[in-house]
Copies of this chain bind each other. A is one copy, B any other.
Amino acid sequence: MARTGRRPGATQTREKILEAARAQFSEKGYDGATIRGIAREAGVDPALVHHFFGAKDQVFIAAMRLPYDPGEVLRRIIADTRHDRAEAIVRFFLDVWEDPRTRAPMLALVRSAATQEQAATTVRGFMKDILFHHVAGELGIPALRAALVASQLFGMVLVRYVIQVEPLASAAPDEVIALYAPALRAVIEE
């Protein structure tokens, strides 16, 4: 296996691709952007983009500096055999948001999606991709129900972390999980 990560210039190439990706996502939205277009803008071969990052959702996650990817989320949720899926989803979600380092880039994305039409278009395409391919496909949750799970999680972000409404803002994660997991379960289960 080629040691591409250590090749001189690999870091710069990676950064150039991410810069091109941010420009393409911002200009064309998530749906409109392509690996081919990002590669062209970065002046590299499309195979190199794929080699560095994988599929489009992975390029987006790296470009937006999001702290985790949906594949990783799914692996953790499916691996969590101590809790049911609804509880594992809320637990994972709170874990990520309780950490200020991972909270910052996601907060920036939610804020821009709430106010800028272009950012909303980008997030919309990304969420649709994630909901249909990962949540609906791999977890077997119908897409509309998956979107209602997303509603509940984004609402938690807005009320607990952005607007910081009490008593939710200061409630202990375990208490929030215990109260909110049944709500997700009600949407997930038919």
Residues of A within 8 A of B (CB): 110-111, 113-115, 120, 123-124, 127-128, 131, 143-145, 147-148, 150-160, 162-168, 171, 175-176, 179-180, 182-187
* Chain B residues positioned under 8 Å from A159 (CB to CB): 127, 147, 150-151, 154
Quick one: given A113-B163, A165-B124, are A182 and B171 in contact (CB under 8 Å)? no
Q: When the two chains form their complex, are residues A151 and B144 in contact, meaning their CB atoms are under 8 A apart?
A: no
Q: When the two chains form their complex, are residues B153 and A167 in contact, meaning their CB atoms are under 8 A apart?
A: no
State the CA gap A79–B100 with chains docked (Å). Answer: 44
Q: When the two chains form their complex, are residues A148 and B180 in contact, meaning their CB atoms are under 8 A apart?
A: yes
* Chain B residues positioned under 8 Å from A187 (CB to CB): 179-180, 182-183
State the CA gap A131–B168 with chains docked (Å). Answer: 11
Q: When the two chains form their complex, are residues A167 and B144 in contact, meaning their CB atoms are under 8 A apart?
A: yes
Q: Which residue of B lies closest to A143 (CB)?
A: B167
Q: When the two chains form their complex, are residues B151 and A155 in contact, meaning their CB atoms are under 8 A apart?
A: yes
Could you tell me the distance in whole angstroms from the C-beta of A149 to the nearest C-beta in chain B? 9
A-B contact pairs, 21 of them (CB 8 A): A113-B163, A127-B159, A144-B168, A144-B175, A147-B159, A148-B168, A148-B176, A148-B180, A150-B165, A151-B152, A151-B159, A151-B160, A151-B168, A152-B152, A152-B155, A155-B158, A158-B158, A179-B187, A183-B187, A185-B186, A186-B186
